[in-house]
Amino acid sequence: MDRRGFSNRLGLRWARLIPLLALSGCSTRAFWLFHPRGAVAAAEFHVMLLDVGIMLAIVLTAGLMALVFLYRYRKPRRQAYDPTFVKSNRIEVLVWGVPLLTVGVLAYFSYQAVFATNPYHPKAITRYEKTEARKGMAVGPAGALRPAITVPGKKPVHVDVITTDWQWLFIYPHRHIASLNKLVVPVGTPVDFRLTSATVVNDFFIPKLVGEIDVMPGMRTKQAMIVSKPGVYSGYSADYSGGGFSWMEFVTKVVTAGQYRRWTHRMAHARRSLTDTTFNRIAAPTINLAHTPKAFAHVQPGLFRHVVQRVMQGKVYATPTAMTENMKKPRGVRVIH
Amino acid sequence: MFVHLQGPWNPLTGRLAWSDIPYRNAIVDGAFAFVVIGALVILTWITRKRLWGYLWREWITTVDHKKIGVMYTLLGLVMLFRGFVDAVMMRTQQVLAVGPHSPGFLGALHGYLTPYHFGQIYSAHGTLMILFAITPILQGLMNAIVPLQVGARDMAFPYLNALGFWLTAAGASLLMLALFVGDFSHAGWIGLIPLTELPYSPGVGVDYWMWAVQIGGVGTTLASINIIATIVKMRAPGMTWGRLPIFSWTALSTSVVGISAFPVLAAALALLGLDRYFGTHFFTAGMGGNLMLYTNFFWIWGHPEVYFVVLPAFGIISEVVPTFSEKPLFGYATMAAASVAIAGFSWMVWLHHFFTMGAGPGVNAFFGIASMLVGIPTGVKVFNWTFTLYKGRIRFESPMMWAVSAFALLLVGGLTGMMLAFPAIDFTVHNSVFLVAHFHSMLLLIGFAALGGISYWFPKIFGFRLNETLGRRAFAFFAGGTFMVFVPMYMLGFMGMTRRLDYIAHPQWLPLLIAEEVGIGLYVVSVYYVAKQFYVSIRDRARSRFAGDVWGTSRSLEWLTYSPVPFYNYAVLPHVNSRDEWAWRRSHGVASRRPDHYEDIHLPRNSAVPVILGALATILGFGLTWRIWWMTDAAFAGIVMAVIVRAFVRNTSWTLTAEEVERLEQGFEDVPPTQTPADHALGGAVVLETADNPP
């Protein structure tokens, strides 16, 4: 598509966005963090509500007290002026004690939440699966036959994530398929991610589904999620990684188990294969303006590990100077329209 | 050459070539024209008024803590303006570049800034605002006020004080050079690693950033040493620790943080320099390097740096609130304790800047709870200020308005800070604009307090007031702008918007981005009123002169001397009887500023060495950035020589005789009068010193 041709229709394009103004005023749909669709994101949201609730009690008290005092004791009123009121042990105990107690309570909840949302082993997912299993037991006779506690979770889907400058590569190691800039996962199934970067640090973030985790070169981090509702979700890098960072988005499609199976079969027949050489081509600096997805079959086994090891051995995918110094349009890099 | 450099290099000009001057970029051209025209106007004015000699004698070579403080503050305000222009540019880019169909101007695909240009702007904004705007403004206030508050004649090391300032100025100059020669870092003020490594930042931008911060950091470390020495060793008789004003307590805490934290930054940047110049692998991803080591180093400095700037701001609020409540500060002892406690906690929370790195839950829980502990002394401060208001007689003059708003921002920033201290919550907003809004709440709290501090102490230093009407207008638009920019920004954080985007892929964020742009417009109006306030106040200074205590209800020792403050501060070092000495003297009827006898005063002599060292440091940084080795060698040799030469100067002080002091003191009226005889471009203290230099 020719991007330059739009300038004459510019006014019209902008006018379309105006209804959004009204929309954002009366709906919280746009507030992605308030509508978590995954157990981990939900746990994070709930502890946020709790924290804000407890903190507001103190912050509002302090704010209201200040407002009342500012109003009551403003100069012309000359009410109950007492410059000797500078010390009160009772108040001192309160002003140290109340924050201390609050921090104590919050610390307890924070500690719980850290384990619930620990990216390497989120208890929120285990808990979610147990609840789901118990629900299944209550409604269906088939469920009643199984004791809920011992039900093992569904077999998790493994996804290896590699970020390059500036794209996302999702490898499904058990199925030897890979998908560029598009993540497809089944609903209600735990997804285990292993993440690394071929170049600089990125941050893996799908606001409605899972919190951020750093993606670091020469290192491996982990993340886990379970999604409660099928749909299409936005994911992107949250940590600045250079010129193509703003376009570093990927689509997350959450589908039913059947759809997921069909998708993997389709992917297995993709024309492209992913070897070391192909990967090096992908990893060369590329700005992906249209978030174009690509499918790969026959992924070289152990590619993730290979990428990590090679970066550890000193492999870099250098950014050309022409690109960093030139303030005009990015040159010296591939741009995918 | 130990490393592979992209692009040409020659021994004479290093990496520098004509093509490195971005004269074809309209934005840089505009900025250049603005700076050049501004500089020409100022230089012409100075020349026409024949002020060069005066400037050189009275300001550039000065070792007087008040003048250095004024220069620090001025430097900070100028840099604050440049950082603000960066902010305007970023907000405008984000409003223009929304969705794939948004238009592009000036060669950019969307909006008017190309990605790397945007990257440089956000990096410059952060570096400028934190290190070269807020830090110098607070350093300036501490420099000018702390010696007065503790009853000293100057800083413990006046020469070192000047050197610290000129090194900070050298760092700022490098930042200004980066705007017009070559380009600046795009890797953020924190130096995102390994983006700052040579393969990913092959240009000179990161080098500019690295040397500017390094040189400025040395200046700040020296300033911290000086303030500690001054407070510990130079207090007037009777100024016990229990009587030390809270602002000085916070200055002391902050300086302890400064000397312990800045060396870590210096080491981290030095190692990064080795990576970039000698090809070592301290922080690279491969070859045994550890990039998280840099991140740890940076934040081991970076978090204390946050408290380094917030503590003086708390100190200012603690001075302003009692003055305008006409009441002593509530809970003095716990306020001092809370300041020290905040400084202490600042060392043990750095990991909360990267909860998302994948550390175990135990590590995250520890640092999360440690971060919450900071909330305890901060909460104590909040409540103590509130109880200071209780049963007071509150006047809403502009310093009080700034202070009260800072208090409100602290509540908002504290609430959101407690959210970010939860690793579980941090995961969802870690690199989002929610975080950006949080730390701007905190830094604007400091900004509000600093502006309040300037309007509070400006009359002390210069002897005339800032225009109150214009000050209120500046305040109103500043507060409105803060609300309009940062409330939408918090909301955008909940919408999932991440930071540092030069292109917005999600059009649903546009309405709130427009709201932020409106807020930026309010800030622009506020900047206009701040500038107008300074202009009008200086123009009409004869009408707003006063001799002593402009607010009538000031409390601490600095108001005991005349305003403008004579260059020797106190004719006779005061004997301190009470915690709020000036208030005590007022209420005991001994508020006369005139001592019963005079004595000889021993004073430091001006020196040109600090400014020369500053200039040489700028040249050194420039040479290092462009790898012009003859230039670095020459500058370094010059620095060593200057230091040696200075070491042999014996004549570094002079004595002001008692008769001289007495004669000078006659020039001041003791009772608050309508006019003082001193009248000069920037206040009377200046003129007195010109007239009475030793023969």
Alpha-carbon gap: B133 to the closest alpha carbon of chain A (Å):
24
Residue A186 shares a structural domain with residue A128: no
Residue A2, in any domain of the structure: no
In the prediction, which pLDDT does A295 show?
95
Q: Quick one: pLDDT at residue A337?
A: 59
Per residue in A264-285, pLDDT (tens digit) is 999 999 999 999 999 999 999 8
User: Which one-letter DSSP state was computed for residue B464?
Assistant: B
Q: Of the ranges A207-211, A308-312, B159-163, B562-566, which one carries the lowest mean pLDDT score?
A: B562-566
Residues A119, B358: C-beta atoms closer than 8 Å: yes
Of B369, B378, B499, the CB nearest to A107: B369
- Neighbour count for residue A334 (Cβ, 10 Å): 13
User: Taking 80 as the threshold, does the pLDDT of residue B307 lie above it?
Assistant: yes
Is A20 part of any domain? no
Domain annotation covers residue B104: no
Residue B694 has pLDDT above 90, yes or no: no
Determine the distance in angstroms separating the CA of A143 from the nearest CA of chain B, rounded to an integer.
33
Domain that holds residue B688: 561-606+657-695
- pLDDT for res B64: 93
Say if residue B692's pLDDT is above 80: no
CA distance B260 to chain A (A): 27
For residue B269, give every residue at least 6 positions away whose Cβ sits within 8 Å of its Cβ, in sequence order, or none.
B191, B210, B213, B214, B217
Q: What is the 3-state secondary structure (H, E, C) of B305-332?
A: HHHHHHHHHHHHHHHHHHHHHCCCCCCH
**Which of these three, A95, A117, A139, is where a domain ends?**
A117
Above 50 in pLDDT, residue A151? no
Is B524 part of the contact surface with chain A (CB cutoff 8 Å)? Answer: no
Are B195 and A65 inside 8 Å of each other by CB?
Answer: no
CATH number at residue A217: 2.60.40.420
Asked whether residue A10 is assigned to any structural domain, the reply reads no
- pLDDT for B683 beyond 70: no
Q: What is the average per-residue pLDDT within B149-160?
A: 93
Least confident among A257-271, B16-30, B312-326, B549-563: B16-30
Q: Which residues of A touch B421 (CB under 8 A)?
A: 110
Using alpha carbons only, give the angle A89, A94, A99 rounded to the nearest 5 degrees: 140
Cα–Cα distance measured from residue B247 to residue B677, given in angstroms and rounded to the nearest whole number: 31
A163 shares a domain with A147: no
CA distance A111 to A121: 14
The pLDDT of B457-463, averaged and rounded, is 92
Q: What is the mean pLDDT of residues B43-63?
A: 91
pLDDT at B177 over 70: yes
For residue A324, the model assigns a pLDDT of 63
The DSSP call for residue A173 is T
Q: How far is CA B221 from CA B161, B349, B450, B556, B676, in A?
A: 11, 21, 20, 27, 38
pLDDT at B691: 34
Q: A98-107, B216-225, B567-576: lowest mean pLDDT where?
A: B567-576
Q: What is the ipTM of this complex?
A: 0.89
Q: Is residue B625 part of a domain?
A: no
Indicate whether B550 pLDDT > 90. no
Asked whether residue B568 is assigned to any structural domain, the reply reads yes
Please say if the pLDDT value at position B497 is more than 60.
Answer: yes
Per the domain annotation, does B691 fall within a domain?
yes
Q: Please say if the pLDDT value at position A335 is more than 80.
A: no
Measure A31 CA to nearest chain B CA, in Å. Answer: 4
Inter-chain CB proximity B411 and A315 less than 8 Å = no
Dihedral of CA atoms B461, B463, B469, B474 in degrees, nearest 10, equals -20
- Indicate whether A7 belongs to any domain: no
Nearest CA in chain A to B7: A321
User: Residue A130's domain spans which residues?
Assistant: 122-153
Q: Check residue A333 and give its pLDDT.
A: 62
From CA A50, how far away is CA B419, in angstroms rounded? 10
Asked if the structure places residue B588 within a domain, the reply is: yes
Residue B674 lies in a domain: yes
- Is B331 part of the contact surface with chain A (CB cutoff 8 Å)? yes
Measured CA angle at B225 (ends B220, B229), to 5 deg: 145
Write down the pLDDT at residue A287. 86
Residue A146's pLDDT is what? 44
What's the gap in Å between the CA of A157 and the closest CA on chain B?
A: 20
Q: Where residue B595 falls among pLDDT bands split at 50, 70, 90?
A: confident
Mean pLDDT of B666-680: 48
In a shared domain, residues A129 and A252: no
What is the mean pLDDT of the segment spanning B374-394? 92
* Of the partner residues B392, B407, B424, the one whose CB lies closest to the CB of residue A114: B424
Over residues B297-302, mean pLDDT: 94
Segment B354-363 mean pLDDT: 92
Q: Which residues lie closer than 8 Å to A149 by C-beta, 6 or more apart?
A: A130
| Helix (H), strand (E) at residue B647 | helix B629-647
Which among A47, A59, A241 has CB closest to B422?
A47
**Domains in chain A, number:** 3
Q: Interhelix angle for B205-233 vs B246-278, to 10°?
A: 150
**Residues on chain B touching A41 (C-beta within 8 angstroms):** 428
Q: Within this chain, do residues A200 and A66 fall inside the same structural domain, yes or no?
A: no
What is the rounded average pLDDT for all residues in chain B? 90
- When comparing pLDDT for B19 and A277, which is higher? A277
Mean pLDDT, rounded, of chain A = 84
Kindly state whether residues A70 and A184 are assigned to the same domain.
Answer: no
Q: Determine the residue type at B493.
A: G
pLDDT (average), residues A198-215? 94
How much is the average pLDDT of A96-120? 93
Compute the radius of gyration of chain A from its Cα atoms. Answer: 26
- Measured between beta carbons, the chain B residues lying within 8 angstroms of A98 are 379
Residue type, B200: Y
Confidence of residue B624 (pLDDT cuts 50, 70, 90): very high
* Residue B673 forms part of a structural domain: yes
Q: Would A214 be classed as within a structural domain?
A: yes
Q: What percent of chain A shows pLDDT beyond 70?
A: 81
**Would you say residue A13 lies in a domain?**
no
β-bridge mates for residue A177, sequence order: A172
Q: Spell out which residues of chain B touch residue A111, defining contact as CB-CB under 8 Å.
A: 365, 369
**Mean of pLDDT values over B57-86:** 94
pLDDT of B190-214, one tens digit each?
Answer: 999 999 999 999 889 999 999 999 9
Q: B166, B136 in Cβ contact below 8 A?
A: no
Q: Minimal Cα–Cα distance from B398 to chain A, Å?
A: 14
**CA dihedral sign, ordered B350, B355, B359, B365:** positive
CB contact under 8 A, B511 and A20: yes
pLDDT band at A21 (very low <50, low <70, confident <90, very high): low
Task: Tell whether B178 lies on the interface with A, counting CB pairs under 8 A.
Answer: no
* Mean pLDDT of the region B183-190: 92
- How many domains is chain B partitioned into structurally? 1
**Rounded to whole angstroms, how far apart are CA atoms A213 and B355?**
9
On whether both A101 and A195 belong to a single domain, the answer is no
Per the structure block, which two tokens stand in for B466?
A: 């800032």
* Same domain, residue pair A323 and A192: yes
**Partners of residue A115 in chain B, C-beta under 8 Å:** 361, 365
A54 plus A149 within the same structural domain:
no
Asked if A91 and B331 come within 8 Å (Cβ–Cβ), the reply is: yes
Same domain for A252 and A273, yes or no, is yes
Among residues 17-76 of chain B, which lie with CB inside 8 Å of chain A?
20, 22, 25, 28
Lowest mean pLDDT among A144-153, B288-297, B481-490, B559-568: A144-153
Tens digits of residue pLDDT in B404-449: 999 999 999 999 999 999 999 999 999 999 999 999 999 999 999 9
Task: Please indicate, yes or no, if residue B599 is contained in any of the structural domains.
Answer: yes
- What is the structure's pLDDT at B672? 44
Residues A126 and A110 in one domain: no
Buried/exposed B284-320: b ≥16 CB within 10 Å, e otherwise: bbbeebbbbebbbbbbbbbbbbbbbbbbbbbbbbbbb
Burial class of B65 by CB neighbour count within 10 A (0 to 12, 13 to 18, 19+): buried
Supply the pTM of this predicted model.
0.90
User: Residue B152: what pLDDT?
Assistant: 92
As a whole number of angstroms, the distance between CA A102 and CA A55 comes to: 8
pLDDT value at residue B594: 78
pLDDT attached to residue B102:
87
Quick one: A209 and A147 in the same domain?
no
